[in-house]
Structure 1
């Protein structure tokens, strides 16, 4: 895989397929660009598809510094400039959507043509004025327990999380394979960015996303249950909602064909 050397010297690995307007696929927490492999052929038929590994993830450089959502967003901006990929559509799955929102908070919509959010909430922690927390209710105690389990018994935290991403329980061998991919992210790096994301609140950024935005949300999501898509559509200036009835947190896997068609149609809009 090629890489871009970022301004702090870190090598950021990425895949680059097809030609045309750029589409940048941003993966979820402790995942990597390989999770988009099934979608790249269809999306790259008419577009240039770029799929990076965030720092500390996949084949990108491992460093103890910089594991925050704002830094990941700055890395994406450097990547766009280095690859001459302005006027891009950013497609964010889970943590990838948080990175998009942080990008907009820092840089506005400069360099962006549109955005796609895939099953992510702008706020993880619960509260008296918030109905769309992680898992339907994520307290500071839940966060502390999860972090300690990741640190001291990582498989016991991550494997159930992977299972919960799907509408139907996946085979154990698939869970094991996905977990193996997540171990490319060092535990401390994973925890740093998780804690940063968990304490973030991007609700105030939503009105600033002034580009067309496609919302793809699984109706059987255990990670973000409820009509989060409807809430986001009301808060965003220009949003289109596509609900995936047979999907949980990973509609691009669970309903791959429909996902590819919906995103391709949106890109042609």
Structure 2
């Protein structure tokens, strides 16, 4: 019965439409086993100069929806869910940015990507800096960091940092439980990440991404990120390849002074909140397009 009903149905579909279903374009999403038992979800769109987008703490490729849409027609755009985030495997080991940078290197080797434009958001910058640290500055065509200091909590007094030890320890304590994690990301998104009204629909979209990582993963990444120090690597990037920082308005004065001293050759753009690339995509995409034009 199934065979008899299916054949006439297929016969009614125009051949050019049927060919799209049967052959179609290459799948944009896939999984790569970065080590035994640990699969990374990734997306690979378009062709041309590769742009690699790395999401921040506990987030997923979904945050880059506007960049993927804008650039995939002219460039090869790659993003991924880091281990224990989003659709990637939750694992007990490697929930730190040294491992995340190594995972990124393995994924790009698997995809045969050479000299990409690296774009990290927030703690995703730690993974891109780690990639450069271990592979060399010459392994990248350019580097953009969205709203993170190379010294998140390890800078000196007056430096651009994530906050005081008391601030960070309070956040760390808060994410130890599932409820605490959701409440923490709700507060942070409303107060720091997003300037528009934090509607229930927007809250669910953001919080559902973050809370796909268990609380112990969130806490491990939070600690690893804040204790990181990639100033030497950021300085080397600044000296050798095109470099840019896009920072949120709320700490732009501090960030600009710090970057003028530490990475004087880097572009610095300031607007919006911590997630300005999503909230103001047209403005951000113009900045990214202008930055990429420097190397094309």
Alignment TM-score > 0.5, same fold: yes
- Number of residue-to-residue matches in the alignment: 261
1:21-100 matches, within 5 Å, as 21-100=49-128
Corresponding residue number in structure 2 for 1:216: 246
SS in 2 for 1:185: coil
> Contact 2:61–2:81 at 8 Å: present in 1 too?
yes
Counterpart residue number, 1:241: 268
Post-superposition Cα deviations, 1:64-84, rounded to whole Å, max 9, x if no partner, equal 110011100001111111101
**What CA distance in whole angstroms lies between the structure 2 residues aligned with 1:86 and 1:130?**
38
User: Cα RMSD (Å) of the superposition?
Assistant: 1.9
1:127 shift after superposition:
6.2
Given candidates 146, 164, 168, the residue that maps to 1:138 is 164
> Which of 186, 191, 214 is the equivalent residue of 1:159?
186
Q: How has the CA–CA distance of structure 1 residues 52 and 127 changed in structure 2, closer, same or farther, with 3 Å as cutoff?
A: closer
Deviations 1:169-198 (A, max 9, x none): 422331232101111112111111110111
Distance 1:186 1:236 in 2: 35
So what's the TM-score if we normalise by structure 2? 0.82
Q: Specify the SS of the correspondent of 2:113.
A: coil
- 1:126 deviates by 6.7
Judge conservation of contact 2:154–2:228 (CA < 8 Å) in 1.
Answer: no
Aligned to 2:83, what secondary structure does the other structure show? coil
Residues 10-64 of structure 1 deviation map (CA, whole Å, 9 limit, x = unaligned): 1111111110011000011111001101221211121100011111111111111
SS at match of 1:120: coil
* Residue pair 1:230, 1:241 contacting (<8 A) in 2 also: no
TM-score (norm 1): 0.90
| Cα distance, 1:8–1:157 mapped onto 2, change above 3 Å | same
Ranges in structure 1 where 5+ consecutive residues have no aligned partner:
none
Runs of 4+ off more than 3 Å: 224-227
* Larger-Rg structure: 2
Residue 227 of structure 1, CA deviation? 3.3
More helix by share: 2
Distance in structure 2 (CA, Å) of the matches to 1:180 and 1:156: 12
